[in-house]
Amino acid sequence: MKDVNILAIESSCDETSMAIVKNGCEVVECVVLTQMDTHAKFGGVVPEVASRMHTENITMVLDELLRKSGMNKDEIDAIAVTYAPGLLGSLLVGLECAKTIAFVWNKPLIKVNHTIGHIYANNLMKKMNYPMLALVVSGGHTDMVIMKDDYEFEKLGSSLDDSIGEVYDKVARVLGLKYPGGPNIEKLAQNGKYSYDLPKPVNDDTYNFSYSGLKSAVINLVHNEEQRNNEINKEDLAYSFQVVAIDELVRKVELAIKNIGVKNMIIAGGVSANKYLREQMKNLCEKYNVELTIPDFKYCTDNAAMIGAAAYPLYLKKDFSKLDINASSYSSFV
Ligand code: KG4
Ligand code: ZN
Give the integer Cα–Cα distance in Å for 62 and 65: 5
Task: Report pLDDT for 201.
Answer: 85
Task: Report pLDDT for 18.
Answer: 98
Work out the angle at residue 178's Cα, subtended by the Cα atoms of residues 177 and 182, and round it to the nearest 5 degrees: 80
At residue 45 the predicted structure's pLDDT band, cuts being 50, 70 and 90, is: very high
Taking the centre of ligand 2 as the mean of its atom positions, its distance from the CA of residue 113, in whole angstroms, is 10
Range 20-24, long-range pairs (CB < 8 A, 24+ positions): 20/65, 20/69, 20/71, 20/76, 20/308, 21/124, 21/305, 21/308, 21/309, 21/311, 21/312, 23/312, 24/120, 24/123, 24/308, 24/309, 24/311, 24/312, 24/313, 24/315
| Among protein residues, the one whose CA lies closest to atom 14 of ligand 1 | 182
- Nearest atom (ligand 1) to Cα of 139: 7
| Residues 94-124: tens digit of each pLDDT | 999 999 999 999 999 999 999 999 999 999 9
| Among protein residues, the one whose CA lies closest to atom 21 of ligand 1 | 270
Average pLDDT over residues 182-188: 97
Taking the centre of ligand 1 as the mean of its atom positions, its distance from the CA of residue 321, in whole angstroms, is 29
Task: Report pLDDT for 246.
Answer: 97
| Among protein residues, the one whose CA lies closest to atom 23 of ligand 1 | 182
Give the integer Cα–Cα distance in Å for 29 and 53: 22
| Residues 260-277: tens digit of each pLDDT | 999 999 999 999 999 999
Task: Report pLDDT for 333.
Answer: 82
Task: Report pLDDT for 84.
Answer: 96
Which neighbouring-strand residues pair with 183?
none
Give the integer Cα–Cα distance in Å for 10 and 15: 7
At residue 247 the predicted structure's pLDDT band, cuts being 50, 70 and 90, is: very high
Measured from the Cβ of residue 50, the count of other Cβ atoms closer than 10 Å reads: 24
Taking the centre of ligand 1 as the mean of its atom positions, its distance from the CA of residue 241, in whole angstroms, is 16
Enumerate residues with CB within 5 Å of ligand 2 (an ion): 138, 302
Which of 135, 168, 298, 302 is the pocket-test mutation for ligand 1 (most atoms within 8 Å of CB)? 168
Task: Report pLDDT for 113.
Answer: 97
Average pLDDT over residues 3-17: 97
* Residues framing ligand 1 (Cβ under 6 A): 13, 114, 118, 138-140, 165, 168-169, 180-183, 186, 269-271, 273-274, 301-302
